[in-house]
Amino acid sequence: MADEPFGVVRLADVARRARVSPSTASRVINGNAKHVTEALRTRVMKAVEELRYVPNAHAQLLARPQRTAVGVIVHDVSDPYFAELTRGLQRVAADHGRLLVICNSYRDPVRELEYVELLRAQQVAAIVPAGSGYHDSKFTREFNAELRAYQQAGGRVAVIGRHDIVGDAVVPGNEHGAYLLGTELFGLGHERVAVIAGPRVLTTTTDRLAGVKRAAHEFGRQLPPKRIRYDDFSRDGGASAAIDLLDREPGLTAIIALNDTMAVGALAALRERGVAVPEQVSVVGFDDVPIARDVTPALTTIRLPLVEMGVRAMSLALDAPDPARKPRAPRVQHVAAEIVRRASAGPPPR
């Protein structure tokens, strides 16, 4: 601790202080100390200690191309859906001794593209694009081209929740989950059921909507456009959509929110209006985010094993694929959606 170092400490500084060559210092630091005497060894370690030397990761990566980080591109980590997903991703990454770089695209396709480039530039070992795809074929093509170039160079790709993108994939049962929601509500006898949907451009919206429509169809019911409201996948989006829907058609008896965050917003809006849930209007969500059970009434929703999905995706990304497989054949894992019945849905008022 004697003399405080100034400026960046480099390997050469350590070597000089230990009075050895950089080669020797490097060997000691990297554990390839087979050919180094104990005396030199300790001298080097002491120097490292005193100078608080940390090797320059960039130089290391250049010299020995060994990719250490992995990247995930999510819409927004502070959204509980992605927070849970990330937790699973992180766990596996950590188990593999990998650093997880988290990128928030805020649902901006351009930013998503930029992040792929950035992660590519960082030489990450794997990229995990998580979250909905976009109905935008130009973008999708671009995105795929970028990803393919990355794979070409040895990068691994595992996608969560998209089906339009190259690479291994973990695909949640969006359509099926929404179908379950529909059958639940129609089964309870609801006739005027409205849907609070996320942005139109997102494939998640489309997929889930399709599930609801299938259920409606099966029950011989309609889901006219006026009963569908598109808004942000956010609490406030859910709230304003609910208000809007109710203003247009006060006779509604059930609302299907296409994610929990929106459902929470809807709940808040209804409470403010003095509409009793589920006595007057039933509300259901999707995702089974942690807070779903803590709002009042507790949310009937579709459980997606979010952490598990993250775990699986990162495993796909990091476990080398079976070399016997056709390299171009991506592995796809479907995860089942199941309904969680809580207090927010009941029979329609009569």
Give me the residues that bind its own copies (CB under 8 A), please: 4-9, 51-52, 54-62, 76-78, 80, 83-84, 86-87, 90, 99-104, 117-118, 120-123, 145-146, 149, 152-154, 235, 264, 267-268, 290-291, 293-296
Residue 29 lies near DNA (rule: CB under 7 A): yes
CA atoms within 13 A on the CB side of 165: 35
Min separation Cβ 261 and DNA, Å: 41
Please identify which residue in 22, 199, 321, 347 interacts with DNA, judged by CB under 7 A.
Answer: 22
What distance lies between CA 18 and its chain's CA centroid? Answer: 47
Residue 78's binding partner out of its own copies, DNA, none, with CB under 5 to 8 Å set by partner kind: its own copies
Total residues contacting DNA by CB under 7 A comes to: 30
CB 175 within 8 A of CB 214: yes
Which of 96, 102, 135, 94 lies closest to 118 in space, CA to CA?
102
Q: Which does 290 bind (CB under 5 to 8 A by kind): its own copies, DNA, none?
A: its own copies
Find the shortest distance in angstroms from Cβ 28 to its own copies.
Answer: 17
Angle at alpha carbon of residue 55, lines to 4 and 53, rounded to 5°: 20
Q: Which long-range contacts (CB under 8 A, 24 or more apart) does 138-142 make?
A: 139/109, 139/113, 140/164, 140/165, 142/113
* C-beta of 20 vs 72, nearer to DNA: 20
Output the six-digit token pair for 322: 């079976």
CB of 38 to its own copies, least distance (A): 25
Residue 322 touches which of its own copies, DNA, none (Cβ within 5-8 Å per kind): none
Site for DNA in 276-305 (CB under 7 A): none
Q: Print burial letters for 84-113: b (CB count within 10 Å at least 16), e (below 16).
A: bbbebbbebbeebebebbebbbebebeebb
For the bound state, the minimum distance from the C-beta of residue 7 to DNA, rounded and expressed in Å, comes to: 9
Q: How far is the CB of 346 from its own copies (least distance, A)?
A: 17
Name the binder of 189 from its own copies, DNA, none, CB < 5-8 A by kind. Answer: none
Taking CB under 7 A as the criterion, the residue among 16, 50, 51, 60 binding DNA is 60
Cβ–Cβ < 8 Å for 223, 193: yes
Shortest CB 38 distance to DNA, Å = 8
101 binds, among DNA, its own copies, none (CB under 5 to 8 A by kind): its own copies
Long-range contacts made by residues 275-278, C-beta under 8 angstroms, separation at least 24?
A: 275/246, 277/344, 278/343, 278/344, 278/345, 278/346
CB of residue 46 vs its own copies: minimum separation in angstroms? Answer: 15
Give which of its own copies, DNA, none residue 137 binds (C-beta under 5 to 8 Å, depending on kind).
none
- Mapped onto helix, strand or coil, the DSSP state of residue 108 is coil
Find the binder of DNA among 42, 46, 62, 187 (CB under 7 A): 62
Task: Measure the CA–CA gap between 228 and 138, rounded to whole angstroms.
Answer: 27
Helix axes 38-51, 11-18, angle to 10 degrees: 130
Partner that binds at residue 340, options DNA, its own copies, none, CB closer than 5 to 8 Å by kind: none
Please report whether residue 37 would count as binding DNA according to CB under 7 A.
yes
Which residue among 65, 224, 251, 323 contacts DNA (CB under 7 A)? 65
CB 208 within 8 Å of CB 242: no
Q: Which residues contact 251 (CB under 8 A, 6 or more apart)?
A: 192
Backbone phi and psi for residue 90, each to the nearest 5 degrees, phi listed first: -60, -40
Minimum gap (Å) between residue 52 Cβ and its own copies: 4
The residues of the shown chain that bind DNA, judged by CB under 7 A, are 8-12, 20-24, 26-27, 29-30, 32, 34-37, 39-40, 53, 55-56, 59-60, 62-65
